[in-house]
């Protein structure tokens, strides 16, 4: 049930936000501070998701095979690898460490 709530509520909210941009007067969103903050929200949330998914189990910081995967991803990004290579490098490295342990 939780899953369905997430799917439906996320979809409704996402569409409402998109439609709002096409319907509301432009000046409502002209505030410079609002625009600056809005531009930083994706960076903040996506960064938090990296550590929340890679270094956290429930409510504890846990350093395990996923950290090795993230390190591989970071190395791939520094080497300017395309997105799929980054993800596959992380998966392979993590899986190897997981099975060795």
Partner 1 sequence: MPLPRPTVRDALSVSLTVGVYGVAFGAASVAAGFSVLQTCLFSLFTFTGASQFAAVGVVGAGGVAASAVAAATLLGTRNTLYGIQMAPLLGVRGPRRVGAAHLTIDESTGVALAQVRRGTRAMRVGFWVTGTGVFVFWNLFTLAGALGAHAMGDPASWGLDAAVPAAFLGLVWPRLDTGFLRVVAASSMAFALILTPWLPAGLPIIATTLVAVGFGWSER
Within residues 63-92, the interface with partner 1 by CB under 8 A covers 65-66, 68-70, 72-74, 77, 83-84, 86-92
Binding mask 10-29 for partner 1 (x = CB under 8 A): xx-xxx-xxxxxxxx-x--x
- Interaction between residue 56 and partner 1 (CB under 8 A): yes
Task: Answer yes or no: are the C-beta atoms of 86 and 76 closer than 8 Å.
Answer: yes
Task: Answer yes or no: are the C-beta atoms of 70 and 50 closer than 8 Å.
Answer: yes
Task: Answer yes or no: are the C-beta atoms of 29 and 35 closer than 8 Å.
Answer: yes
Closest CA to 67 of 38, 33, 98, 39: 98
- The correct pick among 4, 31, 63, 79 for binding partner 1 (CB under 8 A) is 4
- Interaction between residue 101 and partner 1 (CB under 8 A): no
Considering the complex, what minimum distance in angstroms separates the CB of residue 5 from partner 1?
Answer: 5
Count the residues of the shown chain that bind partner 1, applying the rule CB under 8 A.
74
- The correct pick among 63, 79, 93, 100 for binding partner 1 (CB under 8 A) is 93
Question: Helix 32-54 vs helix 65-78: angle between axes, to the nearest 10 degrees?
Answer: 130
């Amino acid at each position: 049930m939780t899953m369905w709530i997430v799917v439906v509520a996320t979809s409704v909210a996402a569409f409402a936000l998109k439609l709002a941009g096409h319907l509301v007067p432009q000046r409502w969103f002209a505030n410079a501070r609002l625009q600056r903050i809005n531009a930083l929200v994706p960076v903040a949330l996506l960064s938090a998701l990296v550590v929340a998914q890679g270094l956290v189990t429930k409510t504890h910081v846990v350093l395990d095979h996923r950290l090795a995967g993230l390190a591989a991803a970071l190395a791939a990004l520094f080497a300017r690898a395309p997105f799929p290579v980054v993800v596959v490098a992380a998966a392979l490295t993590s899986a190897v460490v997981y099975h060795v342990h």
